[in-house]
Amino acid sequence: DREHVKFPYLLRDKNITRANEVWCSDITYVPMAQGNAFLCVVMDWYSRKVLGWAVSNTMDVALCLTALARALKAAGGVLPEIFNTDQGSQFTGKEWISELQKQGIQISMDGGGRWMDNVFIERLWRSLKYEKLRLWSYQTISELRGLTADWIEFYNHRRKHQTHGYNTPWSVYQEAMSQ
């Protein structure tokens, strides 16, 4: 859509040193017996904690706004300074942009076709798909939500990350928030 706005990538050579400095979001599809479902996640870039997520049978901005609202609630009203996404229509449209601008959040977007600009969420997709989604067959959206919730709980609270000295995303985020 020509009315959709694209923003520059603000994270090149930026050293992210604390929680809520940068959040990122993306959408992936999940094959189902009858069609596809779509999963949107909002992640804290520093801790890698999944702050909010949503599943839907449609890939529209409402899916993304639901994940964002859940992330804002989980963060206890703390806002990120910068929010990074790709240039998908859900993230370049008026509804998404105005919601971030209303909150005073700087908007950053990956370069066209630059999956490496949002590498942490791309790694999350790989882990989720190989560790959970490709191992199960989903008949309903409700079933997919339940299994996704189980995996995200595992990822946030029990999966250790080498980057953070083998601490979990949750513990890294909690420690950063208490300082």
Q: Which residue has the higher pLDDT, 163 or 100?
A: 100
DSSP string, 20-42: TSEEEEEEEEEEETTEEEEEEEE
Indicate if the pLDDT at residue 28 is higher than 60.
Answer: yes
End-to-end CA gap in the chain: 43
**105-144 pLDDT tens trace:** 999 998 765 555 577 888 898 999 888 877 777 789 999 9
Write down the residue that tokens 């029990």 correspond to: 158
* Amino acid 117: pLDDT: 59
* Amino acid 132: pLDDT: 80
**46-95 pLDDT tens trace:** 999 999 999 999 999 999 999 999 999 999 989 999 999 999 899 999 99
